[in-house]
Amino acid sequence: MQAAYWETHGARRAVRTMLAGAAVAALLAGGAGPALADGAKIGGSFGLTGGLAPYSPSLVDAARLAQSQVNDAGGVLGGDLDLVVTDDQTNPQAAVDAAQKMVSVDNIAAMMGPFGSAQVLAVANNVTIPNGVPQVAPTATSPELTGLDDDDFIFRVVASDSFIGKVLGDVVRDEGMDQVALMYLNNDYGVGLADAFRDAFTAAGGTIAGDAAFEPKKNSYRGELAALADGGAATLVLIAYPADGGTTILRQALENGFFERFVLTDGMKEQSVLDEIGAENLAGSIGVAPEAPPETRAGSLFDEAYAAFSDHATDSLFIRETYDATMLIALAIEQAGSTDRAAVRDALRKVANPPGETVLPGEWAKARDLIAAGSDIDYQGAAGPHDFDAVGDVAGTVGVFEITADGFTTRTVISP
């Protein structure tokens, strides 16, 4: 990365407003560059456009914060950490194309992202696994990642939907809802989470009175909603993304009186949903989403740094996981002493798992010095500890939220 890259106010503002086409183009152009003699180049695959676009500005800022902290404290392997940002368009094929360029042209040492499960699986199967590139997913929750034949190149720092779906099923039953309708996006994220919820909810004695997948970006879902409502359930469990139909489904369900209450998942925990639908119209609805343990020193350090770096709120969804994934890759490169991809893969557990001296967000200089001295480190992330198991998964934690007149309010955070 050029020495002054992303250090000017104007460049940082471009990240925060990237949904405009010119800002996206500028951001993509800024990530490119020649291979570095010192330092390291890593990839970041974001849904700058498409269904995950509302989330991406805050996520890019989280990754850029980690990059900035590393470079401000002396860099990695004696040079700059270069973050190549690409747009996967929230589309599996576009994600594969972008990843292939990063691997074969930009020669990245490792990849952070993508953010949707469908995109992660497509990239893993078609690019990173065949090319032996470490990939750390910040938000992909599909259980399918667990069983990949990946030669240990695929990691994630968020709980699997196997756990999230169980929490969702248990929470819905605990709320006294014994009958619900289920509507979910027809992709890896939606299908995987729907399966996990369905199993947990019915095992707990619940009944699913209507069950349907939906295709994204339709103008109307009234037919599907009417059919689901005919089952007699007053509550709709919705697994969706706002821009891929989720907001439309909520609006049309309310306009036609199909359902009285909603249960949402992380894909719908986005301020734009409340802005468009109105928090008052969704009051009393509940949901679950991966969430960091409350009131940790690591979380506080991240919040302070992010608030100074970005205009986005410190409770924006998945910013902590994105920061942690980026920081873990940088730490693994430093630990490996090389950008060799297999060496970086092998170093990820060494910097993330105990034993070792605790390293917190922002403590790059401390981590670098400990590694140089031959000491073990144990990174405790903004989103919690990331102790990778044998398949590259972490236990993770899940928050239960409620929608009130004030917006999304966390009730509790549940650990496995």
Q: What is the full DSSP assignment across 137-155?
A: ESS---GGGGG---TT-EE
Confidence of residue 26 (pLDDT cuts 50, 70, 90): very low
Query: Using CA atoms, how far apart are residues 213 and 216, in angstroms rounded to an integer?
Result: 10
At residue 313, the pLDDT reads 94
Average pLDDT score over residue span 141-147: 94
Query: Using CA atoms, how far apart are residues 282 and 286, in angstroms rounded to an integer?
Result: 9
Contact residues for 72 (Cβ-Cβ < 8 A; gap 6+): none
pTM: 0.86
At residue 38, the pLDDT reads 85
Query: Using CA atoms, how far apart are residues 383 and 324, in angstroms rounded to an integer?
Result: 7
Average pLDDT value over all residues in the chain: 91
Q: What fold does the segment set 9-158+295-385 form as a domain?
A: Rossmann fold (3.40.50)
Same fold, 9-158+295-385 and 161-284: yes
At residue 11, the pLDDT reads 39
* In the chain, domain spans: 9-158+295-385, 161-284
At residue 254, the pLDDT reads 97
* 40 or 31, which is more confident: 40
The greatest distance separating any two alpha carbons of the chain, rounded to the nearest whole angstrom, comes to: 67
At residue 22, the pLDDT reads 36
At residue 135, the pLDDT reads 98
At residue 30, the pLDDT reads 36
Q: Does domain 161-284 have CATH number 3.40.50.2300?
A: yes
Average pLDDT score over residue span 292-320: 95
Contact residues for 304 (Cβ-Cβ < 8 A; gap 6+): none
Average pLDDT score over residue span 110-129: 96
Lowest pLDDT segment from 12-16, 55-59, 227-231:
12-16
- Helix runs in 210-318, H state only: 222-229, 246-255, 271-277, 279-282, 297-309
Confidence of residue 333 (pLDDT cuts 50, 70, 90): very high
Residue 316, classified by CB atoms within 10 Å of its CB into exposed (0-12), middle (13-18) or buried (19+), is buried
Query: Using CA atoms, how far apart are residues 279 and 68, in angstroms rounded to an integer?
Result: 36
Confidence of residue 35 (pLDDT cuts 50, 70, 90): very low
Average pLDDT score over residue span 162-179: 95
**Token duo for residue 73:** 């404290």
**Residue 396 predicted with pLDDT over 80:** yes
**Residue 10 predicted with pLDDT over 60:** no
Average pLDDT score over residue span 313-333: 96
Residue 404, classified by CB atoms within 10 Å of its CB into exposed (0-12), middle (13-18) or buried (19+), is middle
Query: Using CA atoms, how far apart are residues 63 and 47, in angstroms rounded to an integer?
Result: 14
